[in-house]
Structure 1
Amino acid sequence: MATRRYVSIILAALAGVAALLIFSWFSSCQGRMQACYASFREASSDTDPAQQERQRAIYGGFGASQSMVAFPMPLGDGTNGIVLIDRSNGKPSLIAPINYTHWSPNFSVNGERLLFARQRKGSVERELVTCKVNTWQCEVLFRANSAISSAVDIDEDTAIFAMNVPRSDEKETSRRFDLFVARKGRSLKRLTEYESLTISSISVGGNKIAFAAEGGHGLEPNRCAGSDRFKCDESNIYVRDIVRPEVALPNNPSTLKSHLVVSGYSVGVALSSDGSKVALRNTARSGNPWRYNVIIASLDGTEDREMKVEGFAFSAGAFVGDTFLVNELFDDRYQVRALNISTGHLEDLQFEILPGMPATLPSISLSFSQG
């Protein structure tokens, strides 16, 4: 009897330690729980390496226009190409110059241009590239040796993006992200001084710019701490006015407060082109706490619709007119969901993952201007 009692005590203790470790792991994932879920899925399943690469690549951005969608997909050699799918007939094509990896595809509002970031294999230099979709004539808009992400086309030859700028006495791996604007023929312009650990989901609509950020100077600290974070209504979404065409952020507050707090914890945002609607990546409390759904809301936080996602990973979203689109990843396919926010009508565009993809897809040849 004594032995059984000791065994029971030991098992209970081990269960308690395991529960504490699991809770600590999920707590550390706050703000990036969908990515952590993908990591958990990799560690706890026999997911093949190619699928693991697709899981990581889907977080590299998503672009949509009236006629196409674009997203990164691994090529199997340590780099990612950009898959483009015709929304009218589902036919795919591929941007994949040899020895380059690509991320952050973004269409201009009129759909005439595609902006993306790329990096040559083995090089530290990153490039922002803008291309005319009808001719695939391209030019490099900006080059840097620092990490860049979440690029947004806001005008011809003009892009806003996040870039890591460590201080002069710090290692290059230090994380101090801020917003910048690059314009053809002009010097790079810094828009903020937040020095955030991360900045993502940059979106511009009307006279507003929205983004997700963690840590940094001048950003209000998270009000939810410890075990309350999973139950707390909170957001790491920030919204500011933007003046165009000069591209300036006026009325800089000493402490920028998080915005768009709805039921749940919001960690990603997309603005409609007129800035009146937002789509929030939001915790889905009906199931496991690390999963997300999408909440469509007005800019004051009034919830309009909920869009349930079914895949084990999904991208940032994008508005095209009155439609919100997001890309989901399943074991055998990608699924682009398109929700009309006025009518609630939902359409799915599926892209089956076949052996040899994406190398077997028709290739788009890019032509670059000199200079």
Structure 2
Amino acid sequence: MNRRSLALGLYVTTRPGGSGIIDAENWPERPDGPVIWFHCRDIADYENARAIIRQSNETRDDVSYVLTGSGQPDSTNSDGTITTLSGPGRTPQDIKNFAKHFQPDALIWIGGAIDPLILTATDKSVPKRYLICANSNDIEPPNKRWFWGMRRALVSRFDAVFATDAASMAKFAKWGATESKTIGSFEEDSPLLPYNDAEYRDVIDTLDTRPVWMAVDAVLPEIKTVIAAHKNACKRSHRLLLIVVPRNETDAPAIAQTLTASGIETVLRSDADPTETTRAVVADMSGELGMWYRVAPLTYFGGTLTRSSRHPFEAASLGSVVIHGPMTAPYSRSYDKLDAAGGAYAIRNPSDLASAIEALLSPDKAAKFAHAAWAVTSSGAEVTNRVADLIDEITR
């Protein structure tokens, strides 16, 4: 055994690794046909995997999938083709039992944060292993410093490494990758939300040429912030209409009452269409968010000033400029990419929301943000297609 293998062996026997809580008794039976195992770092990678699966299913309906590591609750979809588990286990034997049960044809490891325990425990039980959308700076898990020589010992275990850029590809090759290619950055995918075209056209006709902005995932404690921003923006744009989509539909009446009490003429979507004097609509009807993103060129993501967020690509992929605060988990990487590309408007505190809305009322400025966001959200399509092609090649 060489020094690199000794270092790796010492690491996996002295450091915790793996993921999840094993509940083998409740594992579903292995599906018939090929099985692909995706291991994900977090919920964003989980959604990347789901995007790949959707694309793969366009041409293949005989492949099943097991997704681990994302922190999502254990589940199996209705036809048994997608199983989500918290992890393969936290001991070598747990992981071997997992691999023996599901007998995956391949393991596809998304992104970085390689877990030495999982990788070494599957040396003999998983025929093919691939590292995709990997940046050379991200393969070492945070707060888990590797021993010298472990990079080569781990990277060389993958049948192929698909790197985010040429510099990373060169490093992976240097670290012993059997095959190293550039695939690009995998932008976390959020499926386009559906909408009713007839309803959309009816709303557009009703609004005519009125400017619109939206607050999505709104909750009562932050309505005062939204109200202040709307009143400030109305000084510049007198016909401006606010759409409020509550996080919980049951809050809609109370939100509408709060808006009305502040002097903003408000209607519930379920009660009436807005008139020329209406200044706010509380969208209390389920299944319409995709339509409202298409209607509103600006969307403030409620909760990002205080707690957590929803996926920004929901709005960005439909041309609505994302306005957000600093609390962007669990989709921080998506927000960061939009911010870096100039495709989202970041605010630091409640008072910043008013100035953000005012600034983005300029159609030219909003268009620049929307165009930059579109470039980010659309760039992941090629990666999705290439990984789907890889699955087709593996499972032929």
Decide which structure has the larger Cα Rg and report it: 2
Q: TM-score range by the shorter chain?
A: under 0.3
TM-score where L is the length of structure 1: 0.24
TM-score where L is the length of structure 2: 0.23
Larger strand percent: 1
